[in-house]
Amino acid sequence: MIVRGKAKKQKITKSAMTRAGSSASDFLLKLELESNPESLCLVRATIERTTETLHFEPAETRAIVRAVDEALANVVRHAYKGQRGQPIQLTCRRLRSADTEARAKGIEIILQDSGVALDPAKLKGRPLDEIRPGGLGLHFMRQSMDKVEFSRSQGQNQLRLVKYLAPAKPEKTQGD
Amino acid sequence: MQIAARPFEGWTILDVSGDIDLAHSPAMRKVLLGEIREKHTKIVILNLGAVRYIDSSGIASLVEGLKASRDQGSRLILYGLSKTVREVMELSRLQRIFEIYDNEEQAVSSEGHK
């Protein structure tokens, strides 16, 4: 697995962010990995630390890790049909808000693979009332993230996952 | 992930540790179904106390084990679920179909054991 860190931060001025509307993003890291199930634990550990540094709560961190893990498992199992050694790229960006520059607004994670095109009909997941193995991965992703967007371009599948930071809770004072 | 079988009064307790993910759920599935379908163990108890992470493939293996135990007329019991494992169970709305206890003492003394 190749890791490319935040060596070069995108230059985004306050005025540019304001012009763009309400948000912009900073590059955090890029992982280049192969479609081997053993790689998933390395990605989970990386995503866990990344989300912690962005001040996500422990439950939110677990949710993001779960979504990314399930997304990667889907790429391995469905896009590459279990074939090992195929390329997967994962990119993380910090989403910023123009009026909360001091604090991250959220995280955007993009997965790209060159596997077979996804069948939109199979992206529904299965009804939870059915008690049978399988079909839970997509449900976990949608439950865990604010945005789950699939697309295909130039022979590549792309999955965009977004999780926003919950608004900061007011600090408790003595007597609360 | 590691999994170790421990006999207990004619039943089997499977102590599982580590991550039950895409790389390791096939191994857990094999041990679990082996206990139920091949050894015909009447009660299989899964100790998940040292499991740090479980994904949908791990959950699918547990569901398969539960279905096999029902087919065999045996029981599959879980205990020691961490917050992470419990969350995944709740997300999949499967916590109601499994027999789940907090600890080993409760699991082995549950109704029908003694």
**Closest Cβ opposite residue A70 in set B55, B87, B97:** B55
User: What confidence category does residue A4 fall into, taking pLDDT thresholds of 50, 70 and 90?
Assistant: low
For residue B32, the model assigns a pLDDT of 97
Residue in chain A lying closest to B67 (CA): A132
Q: Does B5 touch chain A (CB under 8 A)?
A: no
Mean pLDDT of chain A: 81
Domains parsed from chain A with CATH numbers: 2-164 (3.30.565.10)
Return the CATH number of B2-107, one of 3.40.50.720, 3.20.20.10, 3.30.750.24, 3.90.650.10: 3.30.750.24
Task: Give A4 or B32, the one with higher predicted confidence.
Answer: B32
* Contact state of A136 with B64 under an 8 Å Cβ cutoff: no
* Contact state of A140 with B87 under an 8 Å Cβ cutoff: no
For residue A21, the model assigns a pLDDT of 41
* Contact state of A41 with B92 under an 8 Å Cβ cutoff: no
For residue A127, the model assigns a pLDDT of 59
Phi then psi for residue B51, to 5 deg, are -90, 120
Contact A150, A123 (CB under 8 A): yes
Residue in chain A lying closest to B54 (CA): A66
**Which chain B residues touch A69 with a CB distance below 8 Å?**
21, 53, 55
Is the pLDDT at A48 greater than 60? The verdict is yes
User: What confidence category does residue A13 fall into, taking pLDDT thresholds of 50, 70 and 90?
Assistant: very low
Question: How far away is chain A from the Cα of B9, in angstroms, using its nearest Cα?
Answer: 30
Cβ partners under 8 Å of residue B32, min gap 6: B14, B44, B46, B61, B62, B64, B65, B68, B76
* Contact state of A59 with B87 under an 8 Å Cβ cutoff: yes
Three-class SS state of A30: strand
User: What confidence category does residue A22 fall into, taking pLDDT thresholds of 50, 70 and 90?
Assistant: very low
Q: Tell me the count of A-B CB pairs closer than 8 A.
A: 64
ipTM score for this prediction: 0.90
Cβ partners under 8 Å of residue A170, min gap 6: none
For residue A14, the model assigns a pLDDT of 41
* Contact state of A136 with B53 under an 8 Å Cβ cutoff: no
Q: Does A140 touch chain B (CB under 8 A)?
A: yes
**Closest Cβ opposite residue A73 in set B22, B63, B91:** B22
Question: How far away is chain A from the Cα of B83, in angstroms, using its nearest Cα?
Answer: 9
**Closest Cβ opposite residue A73 in set B55, B67, B88:** B55
- Which regions of chain B are under pLDDT 50? 113-114
* Contact state of B21 with A41 under an 8 Å Cβ cutoff: yes
Alpha carbon distance B104, B110 (integer Å): 10
Q: Write the DSSP assignment of A99-146 as a string of letters.
A: T-TTS--EEEEEEEE-SPPP-GGGGG---TTS--SS--HHHHHHHH-S
Report which DSSP code applies to A53: H
For residue B110, the model assigns a pLDDT of 80
Query: Measuring CA to CA, how many Å separate A41 from each of A36, A49, A157, A168, B18?
Result: 10, 13, 22, 30, 11
For residue A75, the model assigns a pLDDT of 95
* Contact state of B88 with A70 under an 8 Å Cβ cutoff: no
User: What confidence category does residue A16 fall into, taking pLDDT thresholds of 50, 70 and 90?
Assistant: very low
Out of A76-80, A92-96, A103-107, which region has the weakest mean confidence (pLDDT)? A103-107
Q: Taking the CA of residue B100 as centre, how many other CA atoms within 13 Å lie in the half-sphere pointing to its CB?
A: 15
